[in-house]
Amino acid sequence: MIAETTNRLFAETPLVRKKQRREWVARLIFGMMAAAMIIPLLLIIGYLVYQGAPLISWDFLTTNPVGGMRRGGIWSALLGTIWLVGVSLLIAAPIGVMAAVYLNEYARDNWFNRIINLAVINLAGVPSIVHALFGLGAFVLFARMGRSVLAASLTLAIMTLPVIIASTREALASVPRTFREACWNVGATRWQTIRRIVLPNSISGILTGVILQVSRTAGETAPIMFTGAVFFRSISEGDFFAYGLKEQCMALSMHLYTVTTQVTGAPKPLPYAIAVVLLGTVLLVNATAIVLRVYLRSRKKW
C-alpha cells in the first residue's frame, strides 16, 4: 500500500511529460543548428583536401614557384606569410594589451574614455580595404617606408588592434575584483596588483585573443596588396631570414589570388593545395592556442 502511494506521488504527470517533450525539441533544434555550422565546414575542408592532395608534399612546402608559378612549390609565399603574421603580432600584441590594461584598470568613467571605447568597438568593424588605404597613405607614402614587410605588418597590426584590445579587456574583467581589493588591503600598489595578480590570472584569455587573430591576419589580401606583397619573388630555399623588413614579400593569400586569377595553364590542384596549406597553418596556430589556453586555465586557483 505504501509502495503504491509512493509510486503515484513520483509518477510522471502530463505537465512533466510536456516539459520533457519541449526539452527534446529544443535539444533537437540546437543540435541541428550546430550541425548546420559544422557539416558545411567539414565538407569544404574535405573538398579542398581531396582536390589539393595530389600536389601536397614536403617539396611543395620547401621549394619556390617556377615556370610562371605553374610548377614548383610555395616556399617564398609561406615564409612571407610567417613574416607578416609574426611581425604584425609583435607590434600589435604589446600595444593592444597595454591599451586594454589602461582602459580596464586605470581609465576613469568619463566622456573621453567612453569615446575611446566607442572608437575601439567601431574600428573592429572597419573593412580591410579601408585599412589597406590607410596603410598605403600612412606608412608607404607619408612615413616613406615604401612597399615592404614592415609597412604591411604595421597595417595588419592596426587592423587587429581593436579585437586584441576588446578580448584583453574581457579577460582582465573576468578576474574577480575581490582579488584586487585583497592586494590593496595589504598595501600593494595598483601596478603591483596588475602585474602579480590580474595579468597572471587573465593570461590564458589574453593569449587566446592574441593568437586567434592569426587567422584573420594570415588570410587578408587587400592590406598587404597595397602595402608590401608582390606577385612573385624567388628567395633562398630553407632560409628563414630571406626577407628583410624593408623588402617586399610574397604571401599565401596573395599567391592564391594570383594563381587563381592571373596565371593561365596552372594545374587544377594548385590553388586547392595552396588553400589547404593556408588553412592548415591557421588551424595549427589555433590548435596551439587552445592547448595553451587549457594548460593555463588548469593552473588557475579559482
Q: Is there a domain that residue 7 lies in?
A: no
Whether 199 has a pLDDT exceeding 80, the answer reads yes
Q: Is there a domain that residue 172 lies in?
A: yes
Q: Is there a domain that residue 5 lies in?
A: no
Shared domain check, 25 and 69: no
Residue among 224, 213, 235, 220 nearest 74 (CA):
235
Whether 193 has a pLDDT exceeding 80, the answer reads yes
Give the angle 92-94-100 at the CA atoms, nearest 5°: 95
* Cα–Cα distance for residue pair 157/80, rounded to 1 Å: 16
Residue 205's CATH number: 1.10.3720.10
Shared domain check, 44 and 153: no
End position of a domain, from candidates 28, 52, 76:
52
pTM of the model: 0.84
Q: Is there a domain that residue 8 lies in?
A: no
Please tell me the predicted confidence (pLDDT) of residue 39: 93
Q: Which domain holds residue 81?
A: 58-298
Domain count, the chain: 2
Shared domain check, 95 and 42: no
Q: Is there a domain that residue 6 lies in?
A: no
Q: Is there a domain that residue 247 lies in?
A: yes
- As a whole number, the mean pLDDT across the chain is 86
Shared domain check, 34 and 88: no
Please tell me the predicted confidence (pLDDT) of residue 277: 92
Residues of the chain with pLDDT > 90, as a percent, come to: 27
Cβ-based neighbour number of residue 129 at 10 Å: 14
pLDDT-based confidence at residue 7 (cuts at 50, 70, 90): low
Between these two residues, 38 and 18, which has the higher pLDDT value? 38
Please tell me the predicted confidence (pLDDT) of residue 40: 92
Cβ contacts of 286-291, under 8 Å, gap ≥ 24: 286/211, 286/212, 286/214, 286/215, 288/211, 289/207, 289/208, 289/211, 289/212, 290/208
Q: Is there a domain that residue 283 lies in?
A: yes
Q: Is there a domain that residue 9 lies in?
A: no
Which residue stretches of the chain are H helix?
Answer: 2-9, 14-52, 58-62, 75-101, 111-123, 128-135, 149-173, 177-185, 190-193, 199-211, 213-219, 222-227, 252-261, 269-298
Shared domain check, 177 and 254: yes
pLDDT in tens, 106-127: 888 888 888 888 888 888 788 8
